[in-house]
Structure formats: structure tokens, C-alpha cells
Amino acid sequence: MKILVTGASGFVGGPVCRALQARGHRVVAASRRDLPGLEVARVGDLGPDTDWSRALAGSEAVVHLAARAHVMQESESDPLALFRRINRDGTLRLAEQARAAGVKRFLFVSSIKVNGEATPADRPFRADDPPAPADPYGIAKAEAERGLREMDGLPVTIVRPPLVHGPGAKGNLATLLRVLSTGLPLPLGGLDNRRSLVGIDNLADALGFLLDRQADGTFLIRDGKDVSTSELLRLLGRGLSRPARLLPAPTGLFRLCGRSGTIARLTGSLVVDDSPLRALGWIPPLSLEDGLIRMTAAWRNAR
């Protein structure tokens, strides 16, 4: 099957392209630059006016990864408008042209932020929960999902990953690795929160699995083991060969701060129910521990 992959040069895109090739598919990468080992279709910026006709020619499926990512320190005066232009309108423009080109399957990688920002430790997000996005990124992704579902004549699969870990991960995971490598103590010990994560290799494998199964619907995904932030730090420290030095978490101070921003992500829970995906027969090829070892090894080598 000929598959067009957008965002092929990104953190998720490279492993996804390799996983699809390993399954015997012909992968065409939508990119502005050459990518070793991949057939490339030149496409400009993602938006409501993008011309996808050449890239889509002969494609039987689309895996849409390209997006404006969640921005930790936003500089735009109207970030929602920009997220909508790229992540909503750009997605729907691609889907409309894919339908016109006769594409048989559109796989959209969305985000767990469509569900919301946090859960109780014992009540995971489910794919059929009412959307409750809390930031511009999540809002635009939710609106893109709704537009795709309303589009007749194009079979759609939607996947909402939680935090993705793996070689090259950035954001909070990269920050934690840098801090752990210094040996400095962290006031994050004894936390009883639960977090679902998914390794990049597991996510790539699941996307290929869903394409091969031609599975309709929306799916949440996880490695299979949820961990507290304290447990995650210990696993990362083990991979770095530098045991995490964790002090008791000052929960009273966290409450005083309102547990906003990064603090909320470190101390709160976000768990997902991946049972519909497992019911199809998908089993993650890597454990959480093995995936984190790969990430820490790559980080150490890069240093």
C-alpha cells in the first residue's frame, strides 16, 4: 500500500515511516527537504491553502502527523487562531483533497489533550468521553477530529497518544533527564499519582497495525504500565546509571501554588483506557522500561 506520511521528519515521523516500511508499505514523506531512505513529495507549509495533489497522487492511505506542537512558552498574540489554521484547517484541507484523490484510509494522530489535562488515578480517559480540551492546542485538535468525523466518504482512524517518550524526546522529559544527570536532589519523592505514557516505537507499531486492520474509530494508547512521577524518575535514573535522589514531595506547597503548569503535570494523574485497541489484538512490542532505556541511552550518546 502506498502511504503518504506528513510530519515525516519529526520526532514521531521517522519511527512511523520505518515501521510502515517494515510492514511492506511504500512510504511517501511529505517534506520540504530530502530524507534518507524515503521517497519525498515536496509540500509547503501546512494550512488551509496547501496543495496536496502531487503528494496524494496514487496514495491509498494518509498518516497525518504534521502539526504545530504544544508550545511551552507561547509567543503568539493569538495562539488559538494559529493552532486552528494549522492543526484544524490544515488537517481538513488535506482530508478533503485525500477524499477527492480516492484515498481509502485517513489516519489522524491527535492528542490526549482532546480529553483534557488530568484524571483521577482510578478513572482513566476513554475515547468516547466528551471532549474537554483546556488549551489552544487541544481545542484545535478536537475541532479537527470533529471535522473529520463529519466528512462523508473518507474512512477515518483517530489516535490520541498521551506523553510520548523515546530517543529525541523534548519538553519535560528532556528537562528531567538534564536535571537527573546533575545528581541534584528533586522534591518529587513519594508521589502517588499515575501517568500513562507511550513509547515512540509502540506508537509507530500501533499506527501500522491500525492501518493494516483498516480500523475505524478513535483509539487511546499506552505502553501498558502506568507509573507515578517518582517511579518514572527512578526508571530514568536507572537508565542514566545515576540513581534519582528524591526528597519527599512538598504537597502543601504544591497546593499553595495551585499545582499550575509544569507542577500539575508532574504531580497530577493522567491515565488512559486503551482496551478498545487491545481488543483488536494489538500488543505493544516494548515494555515501558525498555522504551525508557532506549531513550536514556540515546540521550547519553548524544551528550
List residues with catalytic annotation: 137
User: In a 3-state reduction of DSSP, which class is residue 148?
Assistant: helix
Task: Give 219's strand partners.
Answer: 159
Spell out the alpha helix ranges (H) of the chain: 13-22, 53-56, 79-83, 90-100, 136-149, 171-182, 200-213, 229-240, 251-256, 262-267, 275-279, 288-302
Distance (Å, rounded) from C-alpha 13 to C-alpha 16?
5
- Residue 105 is which amino acid? R
Distance (Å, rounded) from C-alpha 97 to C-alpha 95?
5
DSSP string covering 11-23, please? TTHHHHHHHHHHT
Distance (Å, rounded) from C-alpha 80 to C-alpha 95?
21
Measured over all CA atoms, what is the biggest interatomic distance in the chain, rounded to whole angstroms? 59
Would you tell me how many other CB atoms lie within 10 Å of the CB of residue 42?
11
